[in-house]
A and B are shown apart, each in its own frame.
Chain A
Amino acid sequence: MMKKINTLLYTMLQGIKNIFRNKWFSLASVATIAACLFLFGAFYAVVANFQHIVNKIQEEVYITVFFVEGTSQERMEEIHQMIDSREEVSKTEFRSADYEWEIFSSESLKGHAESFTENPLEGMDNVRAYMKDVSKQEDLVTYIQSIPDVDHVNQSLVLANTLTGVNGLVSYVFVGIIVILLIVSVFLISNTVSIGISVRSEEINIMKYIGATDFFVRAPFVLEGMIIGLVGAGIPLVVIYNAYNRLSEYVVDRFPMLSDILNFLPVEDVFLFLTPVSLAVGIGIGFFGSMSTVRKHLDV
């Protein structure tokens, strides 16, 4: 048992030493992994923010439901609940005629409202329904129009359709580019790891002639690959984290008028996906790349 532990510790130590023994290969591998994953990470951050902005705009899209004149307060509340319970609705808001007049007069009439003795918007009680997904707006409107006591529904089909189109385009194009970037990264990284090991095939041969087991030969290479992958993935994560924070602060400070549109996703949200994926790609390729390349040279 003690011998096995000794061997394990030795192979691990060799894996770490190998990184320094082959420092040029290690540097080249780390640089390739870092460059690939930096591109991937930076692009992902842009895509995530773009989608976040589109989602934010979607959240502001609402339809307005008006009732048939004379509909009782209870019935309006009942219809409000029916709309609120719909899956495609994110939130609803009941706006009475008095509330609508108060808002309108304070925003648009500014001091001239006193001349009105009665509420000109009488009978304009309504429910605003905000969408979770604007692509389902038409279905919701069809449903609401079928409810008795609903007079009509106001909606902006053009906005809904535009947002649905943009969202679809973003999903397909950006996801496609991210997948391509990821595939290119996997290819480049595994090639670098593979070349680095292939030039050391002589070393593997020598170990095998001496009587080293496959594990004994492979373990240091695999650990070396994993450490290189970890460092290569860690560097772009640190760079992107800092750059993202600085850039978002800079844009908000420098262009305050854009703050309503450029609503940056919190860095934690971006890294919730980016960290595990980058580390998995880096360490995973380091592991599988070295494992499979060493295997090719083990048959001695």
Chain B
Amino acid sequence: MTKRKLLKLQKQQDFIEEKGIIYLDNVTKSYSTGSPAINGITLSIYRGEFVFIVGDSGSGKSTLIRLLLRELTATGGHAYVMGQDLAQIKHRNIPKFRRNLGVVFQDFRLLNDRNVYENVAFAQRVVEMTNRDIRRNVPSMLATVGLAGKYKAKTTQLSGGEQQRVALARALVNNPSILLADEPTGNLDPHNSWEIMGLLEEINERGTTVVVVTHNREIVNAMKKRVVAMKKGIIVSDMEEGVYNDEED
């Protein structure tokens, strides 16, 4: 590694320590029509935190996730993830950036023409892991999410909870620094929802920063984590060990 790269890395680390692994500085996202989906929000999420982002439909939660994934770019302010200014990431470098993030969606978004093993292995293929490493890492990750015995099953043969576990395994197999979960329990029954949340907590305890966007009041209130509430594109409350109040919905 060159001295210049080392210095850049050190600068990024310092930035993360000071401002957070995710730092939004007066970020606005406007579309061509209507009012801004996100309107000048400032937010710091530090390494190893577990944060719920709550709010009703249209509050800007999903736009926030899409900004963090660099699917969208902010129209105002600056968004930083892992010390990188997202607006400065060139199109060709977006894949490399996304490999630092694990992402889980409400609708699982699995490759349904492939089996469980292939879905998880795919994430490793993307980062050019050797076959040997893939054969070692994938079964181990499937065991972590409790799917060791189902690695050959087609994803369409699995229950919702199991499909979300596969999505979680895929998101985590590359050891991302941040896990973004967009309504991970939205399609699950209470039992499976709690199991998934349990897994997310476990992952967080191992050092991964976890950001969960959710509507699930019961889970938010029970878990006693940091809760950032959004309404009409702005942050209306940000509480350590917070709750999801009625007035925020």
CB-based nearest A residue for B97: A211
Is the Cβ of B109 less than 8 Å from the Cβ of A7? no
Bound-state CA distance A4–B127 (Å) is 11
Is the Cβ of B95 less than 8 Å from the Cβ of A6? no
Is the Cβ of A206 less than 8 Å from the Cβ of B109? yes
Within 8 A of A (CB), among B112-132: 113-114, 122-123, 125-128, 130-131
Q: Which of these, A4, A10, A211, contacts B95 with CB under 8 Å?
A: A211
Bound-state CA distance A212–B96 (Å) is 8
Bound-state CA distance A74–B103 (Å) is 97
A sample of 6 inter-chain contacts (CB < 8 A) reads A3-B128, A209-B69, A210-B123, A212-B95, A213-B95, A213-B126
- B residues with a Cβ closer than 8 A to A are 69, 71, 92, 95-99, 101, 103, 109-111, 113-114, 122-123, 125-128, 130-131, 170, 174
Interface size on A, residues (CB 8 A): 22
Question: Within the complex, what minimum Cβ distance (angstroms) separates B178 from chain A?
Answer: 13
CB-based nearest B residue for A213: B95
Is A207 located at the chain interface by the 8 A CB criterion? Answer: yes
Q: Which of these, B92, B113, B126, B174, contacts A207 with CB under 8 Å?
A: B126
Chain B residue contacts of A21, Cβ below 8 A: 113-114
Is A205 located at the chain interface by the 8 A CB criterion? Answer: yes
Bound-state CA distance A3–B125 (Å) is 10
Is the Cβ of B126 less than 8 Å from the Cβ of A216? yes
Is the Cβ of B95 less than 8 Å from the Cβ of A3? no
Chain A residue contacts of B92, Cβ below 8 A: 213-214
Bound-state CA distance A7–B128 (Å) is 6
Q: Which of these, B109, B128, B130, contacts A209 with CB under 8 Å?
A: B109
Given A7-B125, A206-B110, A210-B126, decide whether A300 and B71 contact each other with a Cβ distance below 8 A: yes
Given A6-B131, A300-B71, decide whether A211 and B126 contact each other with a Cβ distance below 8 A: yes
Is the Cβ of B125 less than 8 Å from the Cβ of A208? no
Chain A residue contacts of B114, Cβ below 8 A: 21
Is the Cβ of A210 less than 8 Å from the Cβ of B96? no
Q: Which of A4, A205, A211 has the most CB of B within 10 A?
A: A211
Chain B residue contacts of A202, Cβ below 8 A: 109
Chain A residue contacts of B174, Cβ below 8 A: 211
Bound-state CA distance A7–B71 (Å) is 25
Is A77 located at the chain interface by the 8 A CB criterion? Answer: no
CB-based nearest B residue for A20: B113
Within 8 A of B (CB), among A185-237: 202-203, 205-214, 216
Question: Within the complex, what minimum Cβ distance (angstroms) separates B86 from chain A?
Answer: 15
